[in-house]
Amino acid sequence: MKNTTLLTLLGLALLLGGLIWQSLQVSRLQEQVLEMNGKAAAPSEKEATAAVASPKENEPKENEPKENEHYELAKAMGYMQRFAEKIYWAGKEKNWELAAFYVHEAEETAEEIIAHKPIKNEKEIAPLVAQMFIPALEGLEEGIKAQDALLFGQKYQTLIQTCNACHAASGYGIIKLQVPTQNSFPSQVFAP
């Protein structure tokens, strides 16, 4: 009889411990989801987890997305497409100085995008630009510095693949780029 009481007590203690552990895990999960979603979380959820998350962690995240909404990433991308095409035609004409100029312009556009921290389809674009796109531009610079048409051609292919990889990764797989087949800038001289 004594044994069964002890066992019941032990069972109850375990059950209670389990419940506390579970609720701790749930609030940790909520915190993580909130961090991942940034501002996407509903206000009621935010209030519920406000007590859990420290205010320091919350503050910058509350402010950032407001700017992101107003930044027109598509406009910057239009420039990106333009610069990418001009890089190509300059490189094709072995006008390495002009190709380097447009790589630099593309880098500046990339840095501008990073600075605005845009969010698309709940994905942060800035880390993708920094991790995928900047290295692809640097690769292209190698070919330009070496004045190596073959290497330039290979690195240009990689650049275009990177454009498409990011579009796919951010939910814009519908926007597909290819190596230019026709020069869209008849008013500009690309030959050195």
Tokens linked to 148: 């190596």
Sign for the pseudo-dihedral over CA of 164, 166, 169, 170:
negative
120: contact with ligand HEC by CB under 6 A: yes
Residue from 34, 84, 98, 103 that binds ligand HEC (CB under 6 A)? Answer: 84
How far is residue 69's CA from residue 66's CA, in Å, rounded to a whole number? Answer: 6
Rule CB under 6 A: say whether 109 interacts with ligand HEC. Answer: no
The answer to whether residue 140 forms part of the interface with ligand HEC (CB under 6 A) is: no
- 10 Å Cβ neighbour count for 121? 9
Q: Does 168 bind ligand HEC (CB under 6 A)?
A: no
Euclidean distance between CA atoms 175 and 116, whole angstroms:
21
Q: Does 175 bind ligand HEC (CB under 6 A)?
A: yes
Binding flag, residue 81, ligand HEC (CB under 6 A): yes
Total chain residues near ligand HEC (CB under 6 A) = 22
Q: How far is residue 118's CA from residue 72's CA, in Å, rounded to a whole number?
A: 9
Report the interface residues with ligand HEC, using CB under 6 A: 73-74, 77-78, 80-81, 84, 120, 125, 128-129, 132-133, 159, 162-163, 166-167, 170, 172, 175, 177
